[in-house]
Amino acid sequence: MNRGLRFCSTARCVPERIVTNDEMSRIVETSDEWIRSRTGIGQRHFSRGETAVDLCVGAGRLALERAGAAPDEVAVCVVATCTPDYASPSDACLVQAALGLPEDTPSFDVSAGCTGFLYGLETVRGLLALAEGKKKYALLIGCDQLSRILDMTDRSTCVLFGDGAGAAVVCLEDRLWHAALGSRGTAAPLWLNGPGPETTYIHMDGPAVYRFAVEALPSCVQDLLAKSGLTLDDIDWIVPHQANRRIIETAAKRLHAPLDKFYQNMVRYGNTSAASVPIALDEMAEQGLLARGQKIVTVAFGAGLTWGGALFEW
Ligand SMILES: CC(C)(COP(=O)(O)OP(=O)(O)OC[C@H]1O[C@@H](n2cnc3c(N)ncnc32)[C@H](O)[C@@H]1OP(=O)(O)O)[C@@H](O)C(=O)NCCC(=O)NCCS
Nearest to 75 by CA among 4, 169, 175, 176: 169
Q: Is there an atom of ligand 1 within 6 Å of 299 CB?
A: no
Atom of ligand 1 nearest to the CA of 207: 37
Predicted confidence (pLDDT) per residue in 190-224, tens digit: 998 877 667 789 999 999 999 999 999 999 999 99
Q: Is there an atom of ligand 1 within 6 Å of 114 CB?
A: yes
Q: Is there an atom of ligand 1 within 6 Å of 302 CB?
A: yes
Atom of ligand 1 nearest to the CA of 35: 23
Give the pLDDT of residue 193: 83
The Cα–Cα gap between 162 and 216 comes to 22
Give the pLDDT of residue 132: 82
Report the DSSP beta bridge partners of residue 33.
none
pTM above 0.85, yes or no: yes
Give the pLDDT of residue 199: 77
pLDDT at 1 over 70: no
In contact, 91 and 81? CB cutoff 8 Å: yes
Q: Is there an atom of ligand 1 within 6 Å of 162 CB?
A: no
pLDDT at 160 over 90: yes
Q: Is 241 a catalytic residue?
A: yes
Q: Is 158 a catalytic residue?
A: no
Nearest to 143 by CA among 54, 248, 222: 54
The Cα–Cα gap between 97 and 78 comes to 13
Q: Is 244 a catalytic residue?
A: no
The Cα–Cα gap between 55 and 141 comes to 10
Nearest to 311 by CA among 125, 183, 174, 180: 180
Atom of ligand 1 nearest to the CA of 114: 48
pLDDT at 91 over 90: yes
Residue 236 burial (CB count, 10 A)? 15
Give the pLDDT of residue 28: 98
> What is the greatest pairwise CA distance in the chain?
56
Q: What is the mean pLDDT of residues 145-162?
A: 96
- Centroid of chain to Cα 159: 18
CA distances from 25 to 28, 97, 134, 149 (A): 5, 40, 53, 19
Predicted confidence (pLDDT) per residue in 108-135, tens digit: 999 999 999 999 999 999 999 998 889 9
Give the type of residue at 75. Answer: A
In contact, 7 and 296? CB cutoff 8 Å: no
Predicted confidence (pLDDT) per residue in 223-280, tens digit: 999 999 999 999 999 999 999 999 999 999 999 999 999 999 999 999 999 999 999 9
Nearest to 162 by CA among 288, 44, 26, 255: 44
The Cα–Cα gap between 91 and 108 comes to 7
